[in-house]
Structure 1
Amino acid sequence: MTSSTIAGPTARGLLINGTEQPAVSGRTTEDRNPATGDVYVTVPAAATTDVDAAITAASAAFPGWAATAPSKRRDLLERAADLLQQRTDEFAEIMRNETAGTDRWARFNIELGVKQIRHLATMAAEPTGKLLATDVPGQWSMAVRSPAGVVVSIVPWNGPMILCARAITVALAVGNTVVIRPSEDAPITSGLFLAQVLKDAGIPDGVVNVVTNDRADAPEIIEALIAHPATRRVNFTGSTTVGRIVGRLAGQYLKPVILELGGKNPILVLDDADVDKAAEQSAFARFFNAGQICLSVDRIIVDDSVAAEFTAKFLDHVRSFPQGDLSSPDTVVGPLINARAAARVADLVSDAVAKGAQVLFGGGPADGAFHPATVLTGVTPDMRIHHEEIFGPVAVLYTVGSADEAVALANDTEYGLSSAVYTRNGARGLEIARQLQHGSVHINTVTVADDPEAPVGGVKDSGYGHFGSEWGVGFFTDTRWVTLLS
């Protein structure tokens, strides 16, 4: 089978019914390299007419794909995983140019994306119904599950392959067709790359479609995607601010939706923690991908009795992180996604310092899209950084006098995505986990822990609806009651 290579800088098209094509209007939009500010690739700036074409193509392809044997759907997805793994170097290069992601983060995206596709492809073989109890003599009563139809997947830029694979694989495995709306900041790595791989693997035309847009047109495009009569499910990963808009639109148009949103994730370092391990892993959980992961730790809450030791060891790790140079595979903290993001992080730090926070390391203004790794202490509730998701390379250290205080501080937020607890006592860790109001709790490992075989989702303002034990099979299917009276 002939495979296509995606290289840049170049121009890309919308992927509709298996064919790359320009927007009907001919308009394009620029995707810029965050590190240099140069245009990396141009993509079509879709309008609602292009949205209609993509969803119409997905709707037309749906009956044939839904009727495809489950084993065939699984085999095609596994073939795509093979091809994706073969293109690791290509993807890593594109991701560095498109998002300023470090080499290790780009390769981790492929590694986990491949694992997700392999595991989630097995959902094609999940049972499609069950026999129900009934009081009617001679009647067979059944709950029958069938694919829902066209799924709209709105994918962010920060973990582009991981989150794109998660958004569409189960939907495809159980027989749905998809329309991907990738991020304006990463149209290739959060949509077009995987769509092309799936096409090269043999997924039929129209089953996977991609619509790109200019940032100014995003509200109109997202509403058109959700409102379209053929759209049956909506899957969004991104900020809580935009998630609220998507949720309102989904409610307005009566479309079931999964929202995976932001977090203010805590790590609790208790008085009996392995401090060396906690310091090393907390530093990783804060600064990997320059803190631009929804699961990144935002608040490191340390018991007074180990705070001095933890802080010294944590700072040693942060000082050792190579920063800025994306040409080095060892770089941990690279540029942020754009200069706006870096300026926002600098503003959070500036606000905190003006109100009394202390800078233990780093600080200072942004330099274009780059903000240095920074560690703060003395943060109080009147500071913006205490409440807002940081989404950048800034660590905030808190000290508390007891485990109860640590839990109270960890839960004192509108978010509830991920958390972690460090303690040498497993039973104590489990008891703390029971009290934490987060969609996932990790004991003696980091908030950014991810596993293709584990459920993902948040509570409170971190989202609703989630990929549960069946990874969303129930969400991506309709259940009907069927009876047969013999």
Structure 2
Amino acid sequence: MPLIRELLIGGTDVPAASGRTADDINPYTGEVYAAVAAAGREDVGLAVDAADKAFAEWAALAPFARRAIFLKAADLVEGKGEEVAELMAHEVGGTRPWAYFNVALAANMLREAAAAVTAPRGDVLSAQEEGALGLAVREPLGVVAAFAPWNAPVILGVRAVAAPLAAGNTVVLKPSEDAPIACGLFVADLLREAGLPDGVVNVVTNAPEDAAEIAEALISDPRVRAVNFTGSTSVGRLIGTHAAHHLKPAVLELGGKNAVIILDDADVDYAVDAVTFSVFMNAGQICMSGDRILVHESLADEFTRKFTAKVASLHTGDPAHPHTVVGPLVSVAAAQRVAGLVKDSVAKGATVLIGGGEPAGAVHPATVLTDVPKDAELYYAEVFGPVCVVEAFADDDTAVAVANDTENGLTCGVITENATHGLAVARRVRTGIVHINDQSVADEPHAPFGGVKTSGYGRFGGRWGIEAFSNTRWVTIAAQQAHYPF
């Protein structure tokens, strides 16, 4: 019997006004895991009502009281590892290691949010008038529209709300239709259990065919004062356009076409381990996944031989199996899309070093390609699956040119045993994030997280997240009466 979940509005679980529901499908079995309420415009309005009414009281709540809620939520999520593992396996085909990684990072994000609540905010300014005091004060914006994706559901569901709440805002959260519980309702349940007041977080789930309408209704509501979205570049363009039309600030963390550069002074065995993690963690369904592995020609043969052997050893299939590394993609359609990219590349001259072939349902084989030409769609498209391209380079200039040959600019890894060499290369790569002597996938809750170019703008994490979801207000205090010319 599938789970039944309703909308969360004003602290109450309620059905959609229309009574409609949407199916939440297990990608590995193809069975219906849950049925969730399918919201319409009326429900969006009610959710914003609730958030707007809760704003003043939440913003005025003592910082230490707000901090206590985040700290309790962090402790609670750490005790829910098994629940999260089961939920993510059913909703998105997540493996157990990936689920527990979600739990650990989400807990740390909540603790960072707790710290941000009581961190110093604002500046004391030099004033023009004698005896006057100037202040630049950070204040919450109001209601924030938050959009959370399915691929790292607990991490990104928590990230969608943590900084806005810590800054004193209230939130209406629209989770992905592919993980409405894990990246939406579960996060809200967690915060409710930790003592979050009613209406501070509201969750609006929807049917896939209604996604655009729900997003537009939420962003266009005049009581919504800011937007944050994590997801694909194509959808991010639409979200950013809506926000700009209504003159609302937005934080957009979008897709990546990420390179891992293995310099001639790298440790090959370490590089193999690092790249395998970068490419195949969560079956490549991470915005930071390594799509392009650029290897210095002096190491290319050894690296490729060892890397393909390691890839061949990866356990693939059932996400519930404790040894599975490459589980199913989020849907059969997603697996077919990835397979289509591989077929197109091969038809245009690419060589399959390992993998390829047809998916088994939503499970796509771990695949490594080489010699992918520029006219293949895969050369520039974000894979978002367990596929990478290995390419040799002769010098640093070539490696940097290839790494930058993309409209995206999210993250990059530069693997080397020489930090000076690595830094010199890293500074030339145009991404929002770069890791020297490490691969491309990393996230720390206190660090500024985000991309450049079509990978988005704005930053999550630490004080940057607070700044993104608050306004700077200039306040002056005159210690004596001023004199006026008339």
TM-score (norm 2): 0.97
The corresponding residue for 1:324 is 317
Residue 466 of structure 2 aligns with an amino acid whose one-letter code is V
CA distance in 2, matches of 1:468, 1:435: 24
For the pair 1:341 / 2:334, whether they are aligned, the reply is: yes
SS in 1 for 2:465: coil
Deviation string for 1:338-390 (max 9, x for gaps)?
A: 01100100000000000110111111112221111111011111111100000
Instruction: Give the distance between the partners of 2:20 and 2:320, measured in 1 at CA.
Output: 33
User: What is the identity, as a one-letter code, of the residue corresponding to 2:108?
Assistant: K
Asked if structure 2 preserves the Cα contact closer than 8 Å seen for 1:374 and 1:394, the reply is yes
- 1:131: Cα distance to partner? 1.5
Q: Which residue of 2 aligns with 1:220?
A: 213
Residue deviations 1:378-427 (CA, integer Å, cap 9, x gap): 11111111000000011110111111100110001000000011112111
2:142 aligned with 1:149: yes
Report SS of the residue matched to 2:391. strand
Contact 1:128/1:146, CA 8 A, preserved across alignment: no
Q: Which residue does 2:407 correspond to in 1?
A: 414
Match of 1:450 in 2: 443
- The AA in structure 1 aligned to 2:187 is L
8 Å Cα contact 1:262-1:462 kept in structure 2? yes
Find the aligned partners of 1:186 and 1:73 in 2 and give their Cα distance. 27
| Equivalent pair of 1:70/1:174 in contact (CA under 8 Å) | no
SS of equivalent residue, structure 2 residue 291: strand
Residue 329 of structure 1 deviates from its aligned partner by 1.3
Aligned residue number for residue 369 of structure 2: 376
Give the Cα separation in 2 of the matches to 1:423 and 1:406.
13
Q: Give the whole-Å Cα distance in 2 for the aligned partners of 1:247 and 1:9.
A: 35
Which of 380, 387, 394 aligns to 2:380? It is 387
TM-superposed CA distance for 1:472, in Å, is 1.4
1:465 matched to 2:446? The reply is no
Q: CA deviation at 1:469?
A: 5.2
Name the aligned partner's letter for residue 80 of structure 1.
A
Residues 113 and 469 (structure 1 numbering): CA distance in 2 closer, same or farther, change over 3 Å? closer
**Local SS of the residue matching 2:460:** coil
**Alpha-carbon distance in structure 2 between the residues aligned to 1:227 and 1:129:** 30
Q: How many residue pairs are counted as aligned between the two chains? A: 479
Q: CA deviation at 1:128?
A: 3.3
Task: State the distance in 1 between where 2:420 and 2:448 align.
Answer: 22
Look up the match of 1:403: 396
Conserved? CA contact 1:66–1:175, under 8 Å? yes
Deviation string 1:199-257 (CA, Å, 9 cap, x unpaired) is 01110000011000111001110001100011011000000000000010000011100
Are 1:33 and 2:18 an aligned pair? no
Q: Which letter maps to 1:426?
A: A
Asked if the contact 2:28/2:318 (under 8 Å) is kept, the reply is no
Deviates more, 1:141-150 or 1:291-300: 141-150
Shift of 1:30: 0.5
Aligned mate of 1:268, from 248, 258, 261: 261
TM-score by length of 1: 0.97
Deviation string, structure 1 residues 417-461 (Cα, Å, up to 9, x no partner) = 000111121111111111010111111111001212211000001
1:30-78 Cα deviation digits (max 9, x unpaired): 0000011111000011001000000110000000000001111011111
Instruction: Name 1:3's counterpart in structure 2.
Output: none
- Which deviates further from its counterpart, 280-289 or 123-132? 123-132
Which residue of structure 2 aligns with residue 114 of structure 1? 107
5+ residue gaps, structure 1: 1-7
Q: Give the whole-Å Cα distance in 1 for the aligned partners of 2:415 and 2:123.
A: 42
Taking only the aligned residue pairs, the percentage that are identical comes to 54
Find the aligned partners of 2:110 and 2:361 in 1 and give their Cα distance.
36
For the residue of structure 2 that corresponds to 1:43, the secondary structure is strand
- Name the residue aligned to 1:21: 14
**8 Å contact from structure 2 (residues 112, 462) kept in 1:** no
Distance in 2 separating the partners of 1:338 and 1:72:
42
Shift, 1:312, TM fit = 0.8
Q: Which amino acid aligns with 1:410?
A: A
Q: Distance in 2 between matches of 1:297 and 1:9?
A: 36
Quick one: distance in 1 between partners of 2:69 and 2:464?
Answer: 19
Alpha-carbon distance in 2 for matches of 1:34, 1:101 = 10
Question: Aligned letter for 2:62?
Answer: A
- Aligned-pair CA distance for 1:468: 5.8
- Please say if residues 170 and 471 of structure 1, whose CA atoms lie closer than 8 Å, have aligned partners that are also in contact: no
Runs of 4+ residues over 4 Å off in structure 1:
none
Q: 2:183 aligns with which of 185, 190, 201?
A: 190
Question: Matched residues in 2 for 1:483 and 1:384: separation?
Answer: 57
> 1:190-269 maps to which residues of 2 (within 5 A)?
190-269=183-262
- 2:90 is matched with which residue: 97, 104, 119? 97
The answer on whether the counterparts of 1:104 and 1:330 sit within 8 Å (CA) in structure 2 is no
Partner of 1:4: none
Structure 1 residue identity aligned to 2:36: V
**Whole-Å separation in 2 of the counterparts to 1:471 and 1:484:** 27
Q: Aligned partners of 2:438, 2:387: CA distance in 1, in Å?
A: 20
**1:124-163 to 2 correspondence within 5 Å?**
124-163=117-156
Give the secondary-structure state (helix, strand or coil) at the position aligned to 2:468.
coil
Partner in structure 2 of residue 305 of structure 1: 298
- Which of 86, 99, 113 is the aligned partner of 2:79? 86
**AA matched with 2:362:** A
| Partner SS for 1:189 | helix
Alignment-derived partner of residue 430 in structure 1: 423
The alignment partner of 1:435 has SS state of coil
Q: Name the amino acid aligned to 1:212.
A: T
Hey, what does 1:71 align to over in structure 2? 64
Question: Partner residue of 1:5?
Answer: none
Aligned residue number for residue 282 of structure 2: 289
Tell me which residue corresponds to 1:477: 470
User: Residue 352 of structure 1: which of 329, 345, 348 is its match?
Assistant: 345
Q: CA RMSD in A?
A: 1.0
| CA distance in structure 1 between the aligned counterparts of 2:468 and 2:257, rounded to whole angstroms | 26
Partner SS state of residue 196, structure 2: coil
Q: Tell me the CA shift for residue 116 of structure 1.
A: 1.1
**Which aligned pairs between 1:49-60 and structure 2 lie closer than 5 A?**
49-60=42-53
The SS at the match of 2:467 is coil
For 1:330 and 1:209, locate their aligned partners in 2 and report how far apart those are by CA, in whole Å: 37
Letter in 2 for 1:325: D
Instruction: Tell me the residue number matched to 2:483.
Output: none
Q: 1:310-333 deviations in whole A, cap 9, x for unaligned?
A: 001111210111000223111000
| Residues 366 and 372, structure 1, Cα contact 8 Å, conserved in 2 | yes
- Counterpart CA distance in 2 for 1:40 and 1:468 is 33
